[in-house]
Amino acid sequence: MIAVDWGTSSLRVYLLDSRGTILDQLASASGILSVEGGRFAGALEAVAGDWLGAGETQIVMSGMIGSRQGWLEVPYAACPAGLDEIAAGMRKVAWNRAEVWIAPGITCRDEAGVPDVIRGEETQILGSLDRLGAGRHTICLPGTHSKWVEVENGRITRFSTHMTGETFAVFKAHSLLGRMMKDGVTDQDAFADGVRRSADAGGLLHHLFGVRSRGLFGELPDTASASYLSGLLIGHEIHAARSAARIVHLLCTPQLAEIYRQALDAVGMQSSTLDSNAVTKGLFALASRLDKH
């Protein structure tokens, strides 16, 4: 089968054998935002055409390809959601070259009734369930929109999204704070200072101004202020999202996992790192349920 992780800015395809082992993989920059006029079939064929030509007929996809801007909008599955509920929400695309299925995202509502959504990461979480086993677990998927996910006995019970990475990016590129910043290597001490600062009173909007005022007083070098801002934002994310769990399972690239490990360590929380290639395991598990449709 062909497993496809198709997001806003990238397209990753994997050729899997009948046990789910990766035989080959390819990536392209054809994220859904760069595909014009709805030509998703053409974009997929451009990347995976050789495999299709060789006779592969089953394709399972997840990510923003199932959003309103994608190939086919697939409604979110409601939490609590495990493999069964997510598989039941899959939708088939009309295409004569192969049988193409798109996984749904998931949704939940917090105590105040405000909805939250995941589209793409649910597949990585499904691919990590075996490793986690029974019981309650907290998974964090750091990034532009970090996801904190509670899993209980193989089902996602609730989650929250935090705009940490995007806030860092827009402040660095477009705010007064960014204009002061000089690029430099990551400053570990400034990062840890930022994480510590996030525990203080005053709120994030006040702490952000501290990036400038500390710079004005020579207490934060321009080359360290990006690291401080990163620690500040990640610290706020952790304090807001932390649950009763003592261990946070990080599901991301090794680089991001190391950054979050340091931040969690600074606030006295333990972390472990899950396999960041869990997406193919999740898509393979979903494919195994397709015969039940």
Interface residues with its own copies (CB under 8 A) are: 107, 110-112, 114-117, 145-146, 160-164, 166-167, 170-171, 173-176, 197, 200-206, 208-210, 213-214, 216-217, 219, 233, 236-237, 239-241
End-to-end distance of the chain based on CA atoms, in angstroms? 17
Which of 23, 216 has the CB closer to its own copies?
216
Residue 83 or residue 204: which is nearer to its own copies going by CB? Answer: 204
- What is the smallest separation between the CB atom of 24 and its own copies, expressed in angstroms? 33
Query: Min. distance of Cβ 64 from its own copies in angstroms?
Result: 12
- Smallest distance, Å, CB 164 to its own copies? 5
- Rounded CA separation 36/252 (Å): 29
Of 127 and 215, CB closest to its own copies: 215
Q: How many CB atoms are closer than 10 A to CB 226?
A: 25
> Residue 98 Cβ, how far from its own copies at the closest point, in Å?
29
Q: Is 77 or 285 the residue whose CB approaches its own copies more closely? A: 77
Using the minimum distance from each CB to its own copies, give the nearer residue, 29 or 112: 112
CA angle 146, 148, 154 (to 5 degrees): 135
Chain centroid to CA 160:
12
Order of strands, sheet of 99-102, starting from the edge strand that comes earlier in the sequence:
22-28, 11-16, 2-6, 58-62, 99-102, 91-93
Distance in angstroms (rounded) separating the CA atoms of residues 221 and 234: 20
Smallest distance, Å, CB 107 to its own copies?
Answer: 8
Task: Determine the Cα angle at 117 with ends 116 and 122, to 5°.
Answer: 135
Judge if the upstream peptide bond of residue 80 is cis by omega within 30 degrees of 0: yes
Q: How far is CA 98 from the centre of its chain?
A: 28
Q: Which is nearer to its own copies, 185 or 216 (CB)?
A: 216
Taking the complex as a whole, how short is the minimal distance between the CB of residue 75 and its own copies, in angstroms?
11
Closer to its own copies by CB, 161 or 272: give it.
Answer: 161
Rg (CA), the chain: 21
Instruction: Tell me how far apart the 2 most distant CA atoms of the chain are, in Å.
Output: 66
Strand partners, 247: 270
Least spacing, CB of residue 131 vs its own copies, in Å: 26
Contact assessment for residue 193 and residue 224, using Cβ atoms and an 8 Å cutoff? no
CB of 239 to its own copies, least distance (A): 7
Spatial neighbors of 15 by CB under 8 A, at least 6 apart, are 2, 22, 23, 24, 25, 48, 51, 56
Between 113 and 133, name the residue whose CB sits nearer to its own copies.
113
